Copies of this chain bind each other. A is one copy, B any other.
Amino acid sequence: MVYTGLYVSMELQREAPDPLYQQIIDDLTTAIEAGRFEPHQRLPSERELSEQYQVSRMTVRHALLDLAREGTIYTRVGKGTFVAEPKIDQQLRTLTGFTQDVTARGSRPASRVLAASVVPATPEIAAALRLPPQAEVVRLTRLRLSDGVPLAVETTHLPFARFAGLLAHDFAAESLYAVLEDEYGVALTHAEQVLEAAVGDAGENELLEVTPPAAVMRMQRLTVDSAGEPVEFVLSTYRGDRYKFRFALQAGSRGV
């Protein structure tokens, strides 16, 4: 591990470097991922790290707390700080769109736009997006493909008032999440999802190119931005034979 080399800020500095605690997080994460610490091996104590990085113990603790929270390390009072078991899939808990998901699995994502229009919201969708009844929403229905194979039918609803110019984009070529972030400055931070297994109906079977009876996964997803404002409400139908949903659960702290 590199113990020196933290980027100390100077008066003449032009661009702000990462905070010290983030540099420590990155350094320790790199060391652990590179195998320089084995799982369940003890890390140097907080006081030792504070000495080695030449920062205060509180700054070291800030870094270690974040690492513990994301599950990279764990602590035991009186004993020390230890490297956790590597996760089966570290990034399962993160919030990603279809494009990222498929790319991360090493496949080539593609989309076919089946419908794109502005329509009055159904009561269910207006309630989910916290819009007045009958408010206009942008509705975008896409067939999602992975390496050319149909994987899902996805219908996204967004408030028209907030994303009026959205349909000017060609979502066969662009990622919706990328447009939301780059053009509208929307930071998606949280989503509530509901998954359900069902038997596909005739339309779904045809679009997904499966022969009945075929199992599908129906997904409902409400995504909100960093201010807690609902941004999109998605109804998806995934092929059951090609889609596995992986994720991690953490126990709530203090008896939630």
Closest B residue to A245 by beta carbon equals B195
A83 to chain B, nearest CB (A): 9
A55 to chain B, nearest CB (A): 16
Interface centre among A69, A192, A254 (most CB of B within 10 A): A192
Q: Mark A160-195, 1 if CB is under 8 A from B, else 0.
A: 000000000000000000000000000111111111
Q: Which of B90, B189, B212, B253 contacts A256 (CB 8 A)?
A: B90
A250 to chain B, nearest CB (A): 6
The segment from A92-100, A117-125, A136-144 found at the interface with B is A92-100
CB of A240 within 8 A of CB of B192, answer no
Residues 215 to 256 of chain A near chain B (Cβ within 8 Å): 215-217, 222, 224, 226-229, 238, 240-241, 243-254, 256
Q: Does more than half of chain A's interface fall in helix, strand or loop, or is it mixed?
A: mixed
How far does the alpha carbon of A253 sit from the alpha carbon of B94 in the complex, in Å? 9
How far does the alpha carbon of A71 sit from the alpha carbon of B252 in the complex, in Å? 12
CB of B254 within 8 A of CB of A22, answer yes
How far does the alpha carbon of A94 sit from the alpha carbon of B248 in the complex, in Å? 10
The segment from A4-12, A43-51, A107-115, A196-204 found at the interface with B is A196-204
Q: Which of B71, B82, B252 contacts A91 (CB 8 A)?
A: B252
Interface centre among A95, A188, A229 (most CB of B within 10 A): A95
B residues in contact with A241, CB < 8 Å: 198
B residues in contact with A228, CB < 8 Å: 39-40, 74, 84-85
CB of B93 within 8 A of CB of A250, answer yes
